[in-house]
Amino acid sequence: MTYTPATYDDLSCQELVELVTDYLEGAMPDELRLRFERHIERCTGCGAYVEEMRQTIRVTGSLTVEAVTAEAERALLEAFRGFRR
Amino acid sequence: MEDEGELVAALRAGDEAAFKQLIDRYHASLVRVAQAYVPTRALAEEVAQETWLAVLEGIDRFEGRSSLKTWLFRILTNRAKTRGMRERRSLPFSALESDDGAVDADRFRGPDENWPGHWSAPPRAFPEERLLADETRGIIEDAIAKLPATQRTVITLRDVEGWSAEEVCNALTLSETNQRVLLHRARSSVRAALEQYLEDEA
């Protein structure tokens, strides 16, 4: 069967996009989670949107962060030696 | 030294290698968290350095009721907040009040159309092969850099550094709900920036 928005209209797409993080974080009451899941199964746009959020999170996880600078480390180790004296 | 108890004992004994290990593990994160509260990178660095001194002074009294990491970031956050107020910075969490949607309203059908609130221009998921390009990562870095400070801190800790929600709540003294709201805003902005970039290029 073909689904039209009418079949999942108890949650609009505009409402759904604001709930994606609650969903991915597992912070949703069961009843809402079922409506959410029913919606993304039937609505290609929202299915794609949730997939884009997962993709975004995955690629963000591949970024590297700046480490401690040599200068800061030197200063801290010096402070450490001074502190222990 | 992986075990936290061992690290604490070594630190109390004045073991420089243990201190260096902690600095390598946490200093850069301390600076990033401090930047959520103070206006400049230099001040954030200063607050992080003060935090280490407070740790050295307090390590004998550390009872291990929380993890060392939690304790460390609590000290940092308290200091950074005090310093932030002294620098007359407005409350960092005012970012919570913004009410911009995760997606531009014009992507959805208006109130006078059929099925209001449903997509008029639906997304299509990103092409996998382009996601891992260096340039794509650069777009994400730029998008994160442009976020309000607290959103930037939350998404960096959660999604880049891989902290748990609980660790972020503890370090920033945020409620679970506020942590999630900040993460949601941050992730939504980054997704939107990616979408715009990948569509412009297509």
Query: Of the candidates A12, A59, A76, which has its C-beta nearest B23's C-beta?
Result: A76
Quick one: DSSP state of residue B157? I
Tens of pLDDT, residue by residue over A14-72, are 999 999 999 999 999 999 999 999 999 999 999 999 999 999 999 999 998 888 999 99
- Does the beta-carbon distance from A79 to B155 stay under 8 Å? no
Chain A residues whose beta carbon lies within 8 Å of the beta carbon of residue B137: 59, 62-63
Q: Which CATH architecture has domain B4-86?
A: Orthogonal Bundle (1.10)
In this complex, is the C-beta atom of B32 within 8 Å of any C-beta atom belonging to chain A?
A: yes
Contact (Cβ atoms closer than 8 angstroms) between residue B15 and residue B60 = no
Question: What is the predicted pLDDT for the residue at A1?
Answer: 40
- Does the beta-carbon distance from A83 to B53 stay under 8 Å? yes
Question: What is the predicted pLDDT for the residue at A44?
Answer: 95
Spatial separation of the C-alpha atoms in residues A76 and B23, rounded to whole Å? 8
Query: Of the candidates A6, A17, A63, which has its C-beta nearest B103's C-beta?
Result: A17
Chain A residues whose beta carbon lies within 8 Å of the beta carbon of residue B140: 56, 59-60, 63
- Does the beta-carbon distance from A83 to B56 stay under 8 Å? yes
Q: Name the percent of chain B lying above pLDDT 90.
A: 71
- Does the beta-carbon distance from A45 to B20 stay under 8 Å? no
- Span B193-202, mean pLDDT? 86
Range list for CATH 1.10.1740.10 in chain B? 4-86
Disruptive mutation site among B118, B142, B185, B188 for chain A (greatest number of A CBs within 10 Å): B118
- Span A3-9, mean pLDDT? 56
Report the chain B residue with the minimal C-alpha distance to residue A58: B159
Q: Give CA separation, B132 vs A61, A63, B146, in Å.
A: 11, 10, 21
Spatial separation of the C-alpha atoms in residues B195 and B122, rounded to whole Å? 12
- Span B22-47, mean pLDDT? 93
- Is the pLDDT at B47 greater than 90? The verdict is yes
- Is the pLDDT at B113 greater than 50? The verdict is yes
Count interface pairs A-B at CB distance under 8 A.
Answer: 150
Range list for CATH 1.10.10.10 in chain B? 92-201
- Span B7-26, mean pLDDT? 93
In this complex, is the C-beta atom of A7 within 8 Å of any C-beta atom belonging to chain B?
A: no
In this complex, is the C-beta atom of A18 within 8 Å of any C-beta atom belonging to chain B?
A: yes
Spatial separation of the C-alpha atoms in residues A74 and B151, rounded to whole Å? 31
Query: B92-201, which class in CATH?
Result: mainly alpha
Tens of pLDDT, residue by residue over B65-93, are 888 999 999 999 999 999 987 775 555 55
User: How deeply is B192 buried, as exposed, middle or buried, from its count of CB atoms within 10 A (0-12, 13-18, 19+)?
Assistant: middle
Question: What is the predicted pLDDT for the residue at B1?
Answer: 64
Highest mean pLDDT among B58-62, B132-136, B138-142: B138-142
- Domains of chain A, with CATH numbers? 5-84 (1.10.10)
- Which of A53-67, B19-33, B42-56, B83-97 comes out lowest in average pLDDT? B83-97
- Span B25-47, mean pLDDT? 93
